[in-house]
Chain A
C-alpha cells in the first residue's frame, strides 16, 4: 500500500516537474510564464447543467467548452479550427458532411474518442426520452430524421449520422446546409461518454462520475458557490495547455463581483455593473476591454388583435421607431460602447454585410420631423386621437432606464402615452408569449455566428416571434437562404423589408465589456460569441 502511494507521488512529482520545465516560456510567443498558472473568473449565475445535450445557456457553455471538445472549435476571431475533427468535407451538394477524426483524442479515463461517441451524443440530444430543451437545435441542423425523432415519430437510431469507422463520421442532411460545420461548435453536438452516461443517470456529470474529453476536467463543484476544473493529462494537446487550474466563482451581484475583482480575488469578470464602464476604462486602461457581442436589443410590436389597433398602421410603427434617439440611449444610459441599431442582425455577425437602412442616415432632427409627420397622418398623437401603449419589460435596472427614456421621447415628440409594466422574467415571458402587450422589450443573442440566427426570428413560425410579425416574402427568402451558397442578397432584402414595415424597432447592438488582469494573456478579443477556451490562456510572469 505504502509503496503504491510512494510510486504515485513520485510519478506525480516527475510529471509536475516535467510540465514546469517545459512551460518556462510560452511555446509560441516566448513570453516568460508565471509560476502560478491558475485562473479565477466570475460566473453571474450557477450553471444549471454540465450535460452538453441538456445545456441551453452561456454560463454552462463556457465550462462545457473547456471540459468537452466538439468536432470543431473556434479561434480568437470565431473562425473554425479543428477540434476532435481534423478535416471536414461536404459532398452531395452540401447534403453530406464527412468528418475525419484525430486518432489521438482520448477521454479522461483513457478511452479513445471515436465517431461512435458523436453518433451516440447526437441521437441522445434528439431522443425524446432525454427531454432536452435544446433538441430543436438538432432539428435546425437539418440532420436527416431529426425532426421526426424529436416528435417521437421515428426511432433515434434512424438519425442521419453514422460512424463509417472509428474515425470517420458521416452526416446526412435533409436539405443542404453550407454552415453545418459552424453548428458543431455548440455544446448540443459535443460527444459524451456512453458508458458513463448510462452508468450514472442524471448525476453522470458530477465531479466523481464525469468522463470528458476536453483540455480540462471538472474537479470540484459546489452549487451557487464555486467549481474548479483542472488540466486533463489525457487531452491530445495537453502539452500546449498552460493553465493548470481554472476556478469559477458564482457571484450574482455585479457590484460585489467588481469589488472582489478589484481586491484581486478574480482575474476576469464580464457583466460589469451598468454604466460603470467609462469610469473603469479611465481608471484601469489596461484591464477594461470591450468587444462586440452577438446580441441585438429591440422593441417588438404586437401585430395580433390583442395589441393596440394603431400598431397595425405602418406609419405609427415607423413614427415610434424614428422618434427613438438611439444615440442618447447608447451614450447616456448604457455607456458601454454599444452601437445604435437600425437593422436586426448584429453588425459583427460572420459573413454578414450590414445593409444601409435609409433612416439610419438621417439626422435625429430629420427622424423626429418625419415621425411627427407620420403620426399626424395616421391621425394619432398631438392634435389627433390619443394613443396609449402598454410597454412591458422584465425587471432590470437598465431595461427600466431605457423604457423610461423611450417613453419620454414618445410623449414629447409624438404625444404618445406609455404605461410601463415590469415583471419578473418568467411572468414576462408568459405575458409576451401570449401577446398581452403593445410593445415588448426584447433581445436576441445568436445561437451560432450566422445572420439567419437573427433573421429567422421574424419568420411566421419562429418560437421567439412574440409580436407575431408575418410576411410571406420574408418567410420565402429565409427558407431559400438555407440552401444558398451566398445568402447575403436574401439577408439584405429581408432587412430592408423589416425596416420598411418596421416589423420591430431595433435599438442597439450589444457589446461585451469586461475586466481582465493584465498578466492573463491569450484572451480572445474578437470572438463575437465570447467563446473562450481556457486552453489558450496563460499567465505571464511579472517583470
Chain B
C-alpha cells in the first residue's frame, strides 16, 4: 500500500508540470493580456510594464523562471491585476474562506444526502422514498445562482435574520447561506447515488444470506450493506470535495465571501496570469491528492481491491 502511495505521489510531479505548461500556453493563447485596456497604452508605457513583470522575455524563459520560483521558494509570483498583492497573499486570504464553507458544505451534503438516499432505498416505493426522491430532484434542479438570491431575499430582506453577505473571518451567521447554497445540489447527487447503490446492494446475495441468518434489519444495513453502498458514493465524493473546497464563483460573487473561486474566474477574465497559475496549481494538486485519498479509501472499504 505504501509503495502504491509513493508511486502515485511521484506520478503527481510530472502531472503538475504538464498542468503548469499547458495552462501557461493556453493563457498566452487567449486574446488580450493583463494590461490590455480600453485606451491602448502607448508602446513605451506597455514596454515599461512588460519589463517590470518580465513579460518581455521568451515564453520558455518565463515558464522556467516560474517553475523554479514555485519549486524552490514556493513563490507564485505577483498578481498582475491586484498590484499591491502577490499570489501567495491572495491564496492565503481566499483559500481558508473557501476551505471553511467548502468543508461544511461537504459535511452537510454527505450527512443529509446519505441519510436521504439510505432512507429512500430501505423504504423503497413508499411515501418516504417518493419524498426523498422528490427533495433530491428539487434540490438538483435548483442551481446555486438561483438559490443564492432567493436565500438572501428570504433571510436578509424579509426575515432580517442573516447578513446578506460578507465573511468577517468566518463567523457562523455568515457561513449558513453559503453552505446551504453550495451543498444543495451535491446533496441531491449524493442522495441519488446512495439510493440506487443501496438498492442494488440490498438485492445482492450476501445481503440475502445475512437476512437468512436472521440478523436484525439494522445490523444488515449498518454492518453489511452500508460499506459496499458507499463505493460509488466515494468515487463521486473525491472530486466533489475538491470542487467544494476550491470554491464556487457563484457563492463568492453572491455572498461576497472573498473566497478563491471568484479570484479564479476573475483571473481568467482579467488575464491575471499569476493568480490564474497559482489557483490552477492549487486546484490541480488538491485534485491529485484527493483522487489518491479516494483510491486508498476504496481499498479500505472493499477488501477485494488490492494495489
Contact = CB atoms under 8 A, between A and B. Distances in A.
Interface string A380-424: 000000000000000000000000000000000000000000001
Given A48-B81, A131-B51, A464 B253 contact: no
A1 B47 CA distance: 53
A133 B40 CA distance: 10
A150 B31 contact: no
A51 interface: yes
A356 B96 CA distance: 59
A205 B270 contact: no
B258 A222 contact: yes
Interface string B45-73: 10111011100000000000000000000
A143 to B, nearest CB: 16
A249 B38 contact: no
Contacts of A222: 93, 167, 258
Interface stretch (B128-136, B151-159, B200-208): B151-159
B152 A260 contact: yes
B83 A49 contact: yes
Interface residues of A, number: 54
A123 to B, nearest CB: 14
Given A223-B90, A256-B254, A265 B45 contact: no
A262 B39 CA distance: 36
Given A256-B152, A263-B160, A223 B253 contact: no
B95 to A, nearest CB: 12
A259 B44 contact: no
Nearest to B270: A426
A184 interface: no
B42 A463 contact: yes
B39 A48 contact: no
A259 B164 contact: yes
Contact of B84 (A49, A262, A433): A49
A254 to B, nearest CB: 11
Given A223-B93, A225-B166, A225-B258, A150 B48 contact: yes
Interface string B94-123: 100000000000000000000000000000
Contacts of A48: 81-83
Contact of B32 (A54, A136, A226, A426): A426
A254 B258 CA distance: 17
A224 B256 contact: yes
Contact of B165 (A54, A256, A262, A424): A256
A249 B165 contact: yes
A271 to B, nearest CB: 14
Interface string A125-140: 0001111110110010
A477 to B, nearest CB: 21
Interface in A444-458: 444
Interface in B1-58: 30-33, 35-42, 44-45, 47-49, 51-53
A204 B83 CA distance: 11
Contacts of B152: 256, 259-260
Given A133-B35, A427-B32, A464-B38, A250 B256 contact: yes
A129 B93 contact: no
A131 B49 contact: yes
Contact of B48 (A131, A250, A463): A131
9 nearest A-B pairs in the assembled complex, by CB-CB distance: A426-B32, A131-B52, A225-B258, A463-B40, A430-B31, A128-B48, A260-B164, A49-B83, A430-B32
Given A132-B48, A225-B258, A426-B33, 11 more contacts: A49-B84, A128-B44, A128-B47, A128-B51, A130-B48, A131-B52, A132-B49, A225-B257, A252-B262, A426-B31, A464-B39
15 contacts: A51-B84, A130-B48, A136-B39, A222-B258, A223-B263, A249-B166, A249-B256, A252-B262, A259-B152, A262-B157, A265-B156, A426-B271, A429-B32, A433-B36, A463-B39
